[in-house]
Amino acid sequence: MWRIWRLFDPRRALIAQAVFLFTLAIVIHFIVLSTDRFNWIEGPRKSAAATVELSLLPPTVS
């Protein structure tokens, strides 16, 4: 294992790995946020059919 560090500078390799992993994490988070199911910031979008269906229901008496 020690021979690989003679080929690569450890500081450069660790910084490159950290930058790559941070970029990968940001990309994964944006992909997840773009889905309707896993968007924890805006919540799920309501479809037009669900809105129409809710408006057709009679009001509940409490």
pLDDT, residue 55, reads: 59
pLDDT, residue 52, reads: 57
Residues 6+ apart with CB under 8 A from 36: 44, 45
pLDDT, residue 3, reads: 87
pLDDT, residue 11, reads: 94
Tens-digit pLDDT string for the chain (62 aa)? 888 888 989 999 999 999 999 999 999 999 988 888 888 788 777 665 555 555 565 666 66
